[in-house]
Amino acid sequence: MTTTTAQDQIRETVTANDVVLFMKGTKAMPQCGFSSRVAGVLNYMGVDYVDVNVLADADIRQGIKDFSDWPTIPQLYVKGEFVGGCDIVTEMTLSGELDQLFDTKGIGYSKDAAEKIREANG
């Protein structure tokens, strides 16, 4: 019964918000390096997103792994679609794919900031 509640809550969150990051900690205070990296990219690029701290709720922490069928956290969702975790988001940022995804989905972000990330990591 609890799993359904967590699943429903997750589905509602990813459906109701354009960009959602399920992470350990919060965007202001990440609690792990991988969550920190993805939140850092989104923060730096000025993306308006909802952060869900999986450490605050064990059902959500397990539920998000079942929901996406992805074993690790953080998990990024854009317009209800699972994008990926830290490695995928990092690769997409550096390749410009994340920009394309945001453009396609109508998500606001700073193209200049995205370019700076690529320059710094090029």
- Classify residue 71 by burial, with Cβ atoms within 10 Å: 0-12, 13-18, 19+: exposed
Which residue range forms the structural domain that includes residue 74?
Answer: 2-121
**What CATH number corresponds to the domain at position 80?**
3.40.30.10
Angle at 70 between CA 20 and CA 11, to 5 degrees: 40
Number of domains in the chain: 1
What pLDDT sits at residue 122?
79
Which residues fall within 8 angstroms of residue 63, CB to CB, at 6 or more apart? 3, 6, 7, 9, 10
Taking only the tens place, the pLDDT of each residue in 25-69 is: 999 999 999 999 999 999 999 999 999 999 999 999 999 999 999
Q: What is the pTM of this model?
A: 0.94
Contact criterion met (CB below 8 Å) for 38 and 23: yes
The pLDDT tens digits for 69-101 are: 999 999 999 999 999 999 999 999 999 999 999
